[in-house]
Every structure is written in C-alpha cells, then in structure tokens.
A and B are shown apart, each in its own frame.
Chain A
Amino acid sequence: MKLIDWKNKHTSIDLNGQKLSYIDTLEGEKVLFIIHGFATSSFDYHKIIDQLKDKYRIIIPDLIGFGLSSKPKNYYYSIIDQASILSSLLVKLKIYEVSVMSHGYGSCILCEMMSLNLSNNLVLKIKNSILLNLSLTLELSDDNNELESHGKMISQGILKISISFEMFKKYIRESFYRKESISDEDLKTSWELINLNDGLKNLQFSDYFIAECGKFGNKWLKNIHENDSKVYVIWGKNDQYGNIQTPLKIQSFMNLDDKNIFLMDECSYFPMLEKPTEFAEIIKNIDL
C-alpha cells in the first residue's frame, strides 16, 4: 500500500497540544483499540483491518512521535504522556469500555493506562488485553543484567534500522520469518512514515523508554495483575528480538489458561504482517 492511500484512511484530532492521527472504522458495538510498538506505526495492522472490521470497531492511533501523528522536536514524549493522550482520545470519542491489543512498547502504555484508571481519574474499563511479541519482556526480566541485555538488544535494533533505507529494509526483513512476506512497497511506506516531519530523530529516545521500563516495570506488572481485564497472549514463535520464554513467564505470572496463549509457528516479531489471515482468525475467535 502506498503512503497516500494509507493517509486517506486516517482521521486526526487535536489533543493536549498535539495532532493525534488514527484509524477508526466507526461501526460496531465492541471496540478493539490497538497500540503499536516503538518505531512502527498503525500501518503494521493494515492487512487485518478489513477482516476484523465486520466484527469490531477498530481504532488504531499513531502514537505521538510516530507515523502520521505530530512529532515534537527535541522532546521525549514519555510512556506516561502517551497513556494520558490515548485515554483523552477515548474520553473524547465517548468510549468507556474497550479491548486493547498492544505490541512491545505499546504494552507499557497499556499498563500505564490501567494505572491512570486505578488512581480514580477515569472510568475506562479495559475488558480484554491482547499482548503481542515483546510485551512485558523488559518488565519480567529475572534481574538487572537481563534487563540491561534486553535493553541493549532493543536499542541496537533501533539504531540499525535508523541508519538508512537500505539498512532499514535489511533489518526489518530479518525480523520476518519469511523475508518475502513483506513487499518492497510496504517497506517503503513504513520508511516514509518514520521519516515524515523529521521523525527519525525521535528514535534516539529509545534509551529513555528502556529507562522508564526499568523504573516502572514493577508498578506496571502490579497494574496488569490487579486489573480485571482478561489477558490473552499472541506470540510469533520465531521472534529473534523478544525472548521466547516471555509468553511462558506471562502465563505463570498471570495464572493464564493454556487456551489464552496462542503461539504462532513460522512467525516472528510481526505476526499481524506475516500471517494476517490466521492472526485475524485468532482475534475473531476470542470472545472480546
């Protein structure tokens, strides 16, 4: 899909002094709210929207600093900021009950949104949470050394993709199980989305995000543990970035049934791009 076609599907709203751009399919009782990961955008989900929109109302924001949303200059838009702006968006749209799906960095934001709820500021009910690859990996690290090495891996990965388009293509393809499952056109669009409004500079803040995880990891675990929301895990088995142990850790930490864990074969960090049909089927079958 070309950038221009993708732009046409987006709506935008001014919130807290920022322009927040998002996909909203408008129709449907049940809302599925999707939070993308670091250095990516709502574009990750373009292959599954059509399949899911019959059953749910799909809302996918581009986080501040990414995709088509505004990109503040020399400003670290923290996880706590992201959580407040997303909560404000839901309040503006008059949505009080949602299911949330989150990928990596997005899961930190999800946990922080739960914390905003706990402190009595909002009446937003998060009914279901679907965690994708890399979720809670940093938070559930066994000790500081493990957290540090996960953190390093993430910053290195982000550094590699931000060098040039050629490097971006090479390393994004490497995080796919089958390199051919992403087309050149889609890669070009993703690259353009990162580069819009000088957005490449924002990637330098990956270290801040890892520091924030180290600081608030325990609190976030507590939030998601105490929240009433039902938790599901969908994880590409061949992920080279996220530790494959993590889904099992999440399962034992949250006391989840086996039927809540979906491990996808021959699939890596981007299950929604690698096996979109199968991925969408799993979500359709979960009773959100």
Chain B
Amino acid sequence: MTAEEWKSLGKFVTIDNNKIFVIDTDEPSSRRETIVILHGFPVLSFDFREILLLLKEHYRVVIHDHFGFGFSDLPKTYCYSLIDQANVCIELWHKLHLKSFTIIASQFGSMIAKEILYKKNANLLPFNIKSIVFSNNSDNKQLHDNLDTIHNFIQNKKLSKYREVLNNYKNKDFFNSDEDNETNKKYKDITKIETIWKKFNELDNQKKILVLSSYNEEIYLYWHRWIKALKDAIIPIKIFWRKDDIANIKEILLNIATFQKDTIQIIENDKCFVIETEPKSWLLMILKEINRPLYATLKETYFKS
C-alpha cells in the first residue's frame, strides 16, 4: 500500500482551525466494538496499515496522525504540548461520535493516553474507555536514527534563536491589534519569520522536532500526575515491555516500585515483536490479552500455513 492509498482510506477533520488526518473504518452510527490507536514516535499512522486491514474485519478501528505528524497539519498557534494533543484526541473522538472503546498506545502516544486516563479518572470525559494497552512498538534502530537527527538539531547553536522567532510567530496573530504598541515591535520582521516557518514545514523531521521539543520537559513536570493516573485507574490496563527497549524498562521499574494493583497487568513481549518487521505477531500478542477467542481464530488462519 502506498502513502497515497493510505490517505484515500481516511478523511480530514478540522480541529482548532487545523486539519487532522483520521481513518475511521465505520460510519459514525456504528455500534461495533471499537479500537482506537495512538501512534508513537517515530511511527506514523501509516505504519499500522497491515494491522488496520486485519483488525477492521472484527472491530471498528480509529487511527489518526497527531498534529505535526504524517498527513496532519502543524498548527501555527499551538504550544505543541502533550496535554493539548490529548485535548485534540478528545475533541476528535467526540466529533466521530465514539461512545465506548479500547485504546492501544505507544511511546509518545502512551503519554497522551495517560493524560486521557487522568481525565477519565476525574470524570471529565464524555465517553467510556474500556481498557488501555501500552506497548512500545517501534524497533530501536529507527528510533536511534531519529534521535541522531534530533541530537544534531539540538547541538545547533541557532536553535534557541529559531525557537524564539517561531514563538513570536505563533503569538503575532493575537498581538497585532495595535501596530505601534511596545509589545508589537518584536513582530516587525514578518518576512524573516515567514521564511523560517516555511523551512520548518518543508523538512519533515524538523516539523516533528517542534512538537517533540517539549516532550522531555513535560514528562518531568507531569510525572506525578501520570503515575497517579495509572494508580487511580479502575479500568483494566496492560503494559507490555521488551528487554531491548532500555528507556521503557526504566519506566516499568518505576511503575512496579510505585504500585501493585490487580487492574494493572505487566506483560513481557518476550520475542521482542516490533511493528515494522512483524506487525501480525505484534497484533496477535495484544489480542491474546484483550480478545482470546479472536486471537485463537487468527492464529489458526495465519500461522497454520
């Protein structure tokens, strides 16, 4: 399947004046069991293509590209925060008339899922979440390649300057009411700002970097909040881990040290399945935990031969 074919499966929904790319396999009125997928980084919705084809026979599947990724826009007036990405998801699902569903989330997406879980615990959501599956699904080589790009970018001494210019760009829309105002002076050189913004949109990885630049800071700021979300959860939660996924092992250990709850199950992905190489095995591993009968049937079909 090519990227264009993938694009034709989905549609664009406008949220906050920006377009977001989403694939919804059913009509809004559908009452089938629903699975919502939150992709991580560096994976895009496109990487779930095989999984989607398989799953849609049995579930209504909803998957979107987060703002700044894949086919979705990089919003101009946006603070690129995980909290906002979570709010965008909530608005999107609301618009798709989802009522009740299971979430499968990975990496970047799992932080968004934790924020959504927190809101669910506080009764702030207009829908029911049946369970959440956290599973990092990307192989490390690709992640490290991407991290190198980010590392080089951070080493770039001009970065802080760019960020400030772009920050000003984001603000200019609501500051320019009074042209001679003191606070408006820094927005004078619009052409320079426009050029930098255009450059950011042209290069694919740079676009992501703006979104990811706040990621680390937020994990630190909201660590308490998101651990509490898991701690207080009353819905079943499954967390998968792999021995070759170092960063995640640390998080799993912190989780185990913090709580022991019946609702939270920690499962080892012992064969280290990742979505790029073995999407079907990866999916079966998850189905085994959330839908045994379907797992049995699919295993028959795909692995007998």
Interface residues of A (CB under 8 A from B): 16-17, 75-78, 80-81, 84-85, 87-88, 115-116, 118-122, 140, 142-144, 208, 211-212, 215-216, 218-219, 221-222, 225, 249, 252-253, 255
Given the known interface contacts A16-B121, A88-B123, the answer about A81 and B77 at a Cβ–Cβ threshold of 8 Å is no
Is the CB of B164 closer than 8 A to any CB of chain A? yes
Q: List CB contacts (< 8 Å) of B191-237 with chain A.
A: 214, 217-218, 221-222, 224-225, 228, 232
Q: A-B pairs with the 4 shortest C-beta distances?
A: A119-B87, A219-B79, A121-B124, A75-B224
Q: List CB contacts (< 8 Å) of B174-188 with chain A.
A: 174-175, 177-178, 181, 183, 186
Given the known interface contacts A81-B225, A249-B183, the answer about A219 and B90 at a Cβ–Cβ threshold of 8 Å is no
A211 touches B221 (CB 8 A): yes
User: Quick one: which of B83, B88, B90, B91 contacts A80, CB cutoff 8 A?
Assistant: B83
Assembled-state Cα–Cα distance A84/B186 (Å): 35
Closest-by-CB residue of B relative to A112 is: B83
B125 touches A121 (CB 8 A): yes
Beyond A76-B225, A115-B87, A140-B183: 11 further Cβ-contacts under 8 Å? A119-B87, A120-B126, A121-B90, A215-B221, A216-B81, A219-B79, A221-B171, A252-B181, A253-B175, A253-B183, A255-B178
Number of interface residues of B (CB under 8 A): 38
Q: Which residues of B contact A212 (CB under 8 A)?
A: 221
Given the known interface contacts A16-B121, A215-B214, the answer about A78 and B222 at a Cβ–Cβ threshold of 8 Å is yes
A255 touches B221 (CB 8 A): no
Assembled-state Cα–Cα distance A140/B83 (Å): 21
B164 touches A142 (CB 8 A): no
Closest-by-CB residue of A relative to B223 is: A76
The secondary structure that dominates the A interface is: helix
Q: How many A-B residue pairs have CB under 8 A?
A: 85
Assembled-state Cα–Cα distance A84/B117 (Å): 13
B174 touches A215 (CB 8 A): no
Q: Which residues of B contact A85 (CB under 8 A)?
A: 122
Closest-by-CB residue of B relative to A77 is: B224
B158 nearest CB across to chain A (Å):
15
Closest-by-CB residue of B relative to A141 is: B183
B177 touches A216 (CB 8 A): no
Interface centre among A88, A140, A252, A255 (most CB of B within 10 A): A252
Assembled-state Cα–Cα distance A108/B186 (Å): 24
Give me 12 A-to-B residue pairs in the complex whose CB atoms sit less than 8 angstroms apart, sorted by A's number.
A16-B121, A78-B221, A78-B224, A78-B225, A80-B222, A119-B88, A120-B90, A121-B125, A218-B167, A219-B84, A221-B171, A221-B174
A-contact 0/1 string along B103-141, CB 8 Å cutoff: 000000000000000110111111000000000000000
Interface centre among A80, A87, A118 (most CB of B within 10 A): A80
Q: Which residues of B contact A88 (CB under 8 A)?
A: 122-124
Assembled-state Cα–Cα distance A144/B164 (Å): 8
Q: Which residues of B contact A122 (CB under 8 A)?
A: 124
Is the CB of B170 closer than 8 A to any CB of chain A? yes
Given the known interface contacts A78-B221, A121-B90, A253-B175, the answer about A84 and B79 at a Cβ–Cβ threshold of 8 Å is no
B216 nearest CB across to chain A (Å):
12
Q: Which residues of A contact B174 (CB under 8 A)?
A: 221-222, 225, 253
Assembled-state Cα–Cα distance A118/B15 (Å): 11
B219 nearest CB across to chain A (Å):
12
Assembled-state Cα–Cα distance A221/B183 (Å): 14
Assembled-state Cα–Cα distance A216/B218 (Å): 11
Q: Which residues of B contact A115 (CB under 8 A)?
A: 87
Given the known interface contacts A78-B222, A143-B164, the answer about A218 and B183 at a Cβ–Cβ threshold of 8 Å is no
Assembled-state Cα–Cα distance A148/B81 (Å): 20
Is the CB of B94 closer than 8 A to any CB of chain A? yes
Q: Which residues of B contact A119 (CB under 8 A)?
A: 87-88, 90-91
Closest-by-CB residue of B relative to A142 is: B183
A248 nearest CB across to chain B (Å):
9
